[in-house]
Amino acid sequence: MPEPNHPVPVHVVLEPTGRYAAVTPGSSILDAIRQAGVEIVAVCGGRGTCQTCIVQVLEGNPSPLSPEEKALFSEQHVVQVYRLACRSAIIIRTRVFIPSESLSAHLRLQVEGRGEDVQPDSPIKAVDVDIPPPNLQDLRSDETKLKETLEASGLRNTRISLPVLAEASLALRRLSWSVRAVIDRIGPEPRLVTVLPRETRVLGLAFDVGTTKLAGYLVDLVSGDIIARSGAVNPQVVFGDDVISRISYANEGEEQRRTLQFRLAATLNELVETLCREAAVERAQIADAVVVGNTAMHHLFAGLPVRPLGEAPYVPVVTDSIDAPAVDMGLHLAPGVNVHLPPNVAGYVGADHVAMLIASDAVAKGHTAIALDIGTNTEISLITERGIWSCSCASGPAFEGAHIENGMRAVRGAIERVGYRDGEFHVKTIGDCPPVGLCGSGILDAVSALRQAGLLDARGRFTGNDPRIHSANGRAEFVLVPESEAGHGKDVIVTRADVHEIQLAKAAIRSGIEILLAEADLGYDELDLVIVAGAFGTYLSLESAKRIGMFPPLPTDRFQQIGNAAGLGAVQLLLSETKRAAARRLARSIHYVELTTHAGFHDTYVESLLL
């Protein structure tokens, strides 16, 4: 009989994939799903508050229904054993079905973007050399000969780390002492990165590590050409959809933090594989890498604690740029490859925002501009001739479809556009199929259209006698698409609460813009340019955003939607030492404005809530 202290693990089989996990009785279904490596949406990080991790239990009786589940599920749902994965403890062998809407696999990925061209100026140099093989008259060590040969090519005191030397020693013999030495010129002394066959093309890697999505670029370091690009879901989404849930999971313990780091590194390694396969090149040709992300993603990738980011006053562990061995971050590249991490500005203004500013080129061109990257957290910079002011505001997950009654990610069937003309609402879905919910740009449009139609007042309350406005359980809601036209046979609705979420989000962004303008003593009409970056920023309707007051009412031609500028900024930083120096200067020069303690923030925010 098993010892009571060592309970026998029970099996959990996950459909439709057939994967399984063996877990300790009492573990939650969410634990089992994570353990099996299945990526499930869990916006709140498993705290029972977001209601996104819905599963159906096919066999095995889990723990009784939690209060959260009783409130959430209909009687029919209960009969069909729908459960929140995070609230259900496993008792016996269990078979679970994960509906596709609970899987976070098929997000719209974005690796495209516009960016100014950059003159390649990589710190990586290749030198083709012949090294004399050893003989009885020349007993110099491999290292001595390598260094002396490189010195003859003008590279004095080249540093060669032990792992690089170990590989170089083998490569020299394999390549008959005639090789391409790849050198990193960053730092006071040159550094040997790797030894390749002569005339091999030398490549670099740029990654944009978003909270939700990863974008990877493989780049020729000499021509500057992007030779492959690919995207993936950030595998950390299983542990919570937003930065805060991610930080709170990491803070549960060292093991949890390491798990987030390893999962991310593993997916990035797979991306490297994909990129190399696509471009028909060898991984060994990669000699440099740049990774950008928000401060939390930056810290998790770099193996730094994120506790300080989760506690007031939210200071980062590091702001300066970092050059460190790729192997320390779990990337499987040649042992001499370093990763360059551009500087962070603050706990919630990270290296990705710096990269975006670099890519947008607004600074270099002397524009007076607002540049913003909208997400759960929105980073905003005001660029002027007199300096740059930056802030971060908590715009919440509404624009990612979360906390919205019929909200969903930007996947097939999501309404991405809502228009209003002559009393009629028109919707457009991703994939042009029957609608099943609203993604971020859809809900933004919907609120704007409702306001345009006169069905919402400035405070966000439904108004008028439109038959499409219902009152259900004392909650007002607007039927945007009736069940007859919907893809899942249910009404697609917009609730008062949804409108409120959008008000909170847009107020946060608008008041961020206003506070920065006030700090610089500027009016919005003095702006030449409003640069809107990021996936949501690319797809949103500028007219809607202006109509509800998220953006200032400037002519549309002053707006620029630039796509994944952070990723293209990473490519530029990969290619150019000049750009890296510019990014360091830029980050150091930024006036960071902490909104939460800013005297004017509260009033501006309350005012900005109005539609």
Give the interface with its own copies as residue ranges (CB under 8 A): 134-136, 139-144, 161-163, 165-166, 169-170, 173, 188, 302-305, 307-308, 312-320, 322, 324, 328-329, 344, 346-347, 592, 594, 597
* Residues ≥6 apart with Cβ < 8 Å to 326: 289, 333, 337, 338, 339
Can you tell me the distance from the alpha carbon of 34 to that of 598, in angstroms, rounded to the nearest whole number?
Answer: 40
Query: In the complex, what is the shortest distance from the CB of residue 403 to its own copies, in angstroms, rounded to a whole number?
Result: 28
Residue type, 167: E
Query: In the complex, what is the shortest distance from the CB of residue 139 to its own copies, in angstroms, rounded to a whole number?
Result: 5
Of the candidates 569, 610, 208, 540, the one whose C-alpha atom is nearest the C-alpha of residue 374 is 540
Query: In the complex, what is the shortest distance from the CB of residue 387 to its own copies, in angstroms, rounded to a whole number?
Result: 17
Identify which of residues 360 and 390 has a Cβ nearer to its own copies in the complex. 390
Query: In the complex, what is the shortest distance from the CB of residue 601 to its own copies, in angstroms, rounded to a whole number?
Result: 13
Identify which of residues 143 and 528 has a Cβ nearer to its own copies in the complex. 143
Query: In the complex, what is the shortest distance from the CB of residue 142 to its own copies, in angstroms, rounded to a whole number?
Result: 5
Identify which of residues 36 and 146 has a Cβ nearer to its own copies in the complex. 146
Identify which of residues 62 and 347 has a Cβ nearer to its own copies in the complex. 347
Identify which of residues 1 and 139 has a Cβ nearer to its own copies in the complex. 139
> For residue 209, what are its two tokens?
């590590």
Identify which of residues 105 and 170 has a Cβ nearer to its own copies in the complex. 170
Q: What are phi and psi of 399, to 5 degrees?
A: -75, -5
488, HSE (Cβ side, Cα atoms, 13 Å): 13
Find out whether the peptide bond into 313 is cis, omega within 30 degrees of 0: yes
Query: In the complex, what is the shortest distance from the CB of residue 479 to its own copies, in angstroms, rounded to a whole number?
Result: 46
Query: In the complex, what is the shortest distance from the CB of residue 190 to its own copies, in angstroms, rounded to a whole number?
Result: 14
In what helix (H) or strand (E) does residue 233 lie, and over which residues does it extend? strand 226-233
- 574, 377, 560, 517: CA torsion to nearest 10: -110
Identify which of residues 36 and 339 has a Cβ nearer to its own copies in the complex. 339
Can you tell me the distance from the alpha carbon of 144 to that of 158, in angstroms, rounded to the nearest whole number?
Answer: 10
Query: In the complex, what is the shortest distance from the CB of residue 345 to its own copies, in angstroms, rounded to a whole number?
Result: 10
Query: In the complex, what is the shortest distance from the CB of residue 319 to its own copies, in angstroms, rounded to a whole number?
Result: 4
Can you tell me the distance from the alpha carbon of 411 to that of 245, in angstroms, rounded to the nearest whole number?
Answer: 22
Identify which of residues 120 and 303 has a Cβ nearer to its own copies in the complex. 303
Query: In the complex, what is the shortest distance from the CB of residue 369 to its own copies, in angstroms, rounded to a whole number?
Result: 24
Can you tell me the distance from the alpha carbon of 164 to that of 402, in angstroms, rounded to the nearest whole number?
Answer: 47
Q: What is the largest CA-CA distance in the chain?
A: 100
Q: Alpha carbon 36 to chain centroid distance?
A: 23
> For residue 401, what are its two tokens?
């479809």
SS3 assignment for 51-102 = CCCEEEEEECCCCCCCHHHHHHCCHHHHHCCEEEHHHCECCCCEEEECCHHH
Can you tell me the distance from the alpha carbon of 340 to that of 575, in angstroms, rounded to the nearest whole number?
Answer: 11
| Residue pair 279/227 in contact by the 8 Å Cβ criterion | yes
Identify which of residues 145 and 417 has a Cβ nearer to its own copies in the complex. 145
Can you tell me the distance from the alpha carbon of 152 to that of 158, in angstroms, rounded to the nearest whole number?
Answer: 11
Identify which of residues 184 and 501 has a Cβ nearer to its own copies in the complex. 184
> For residue 174, what are its two tokens?
């394999």
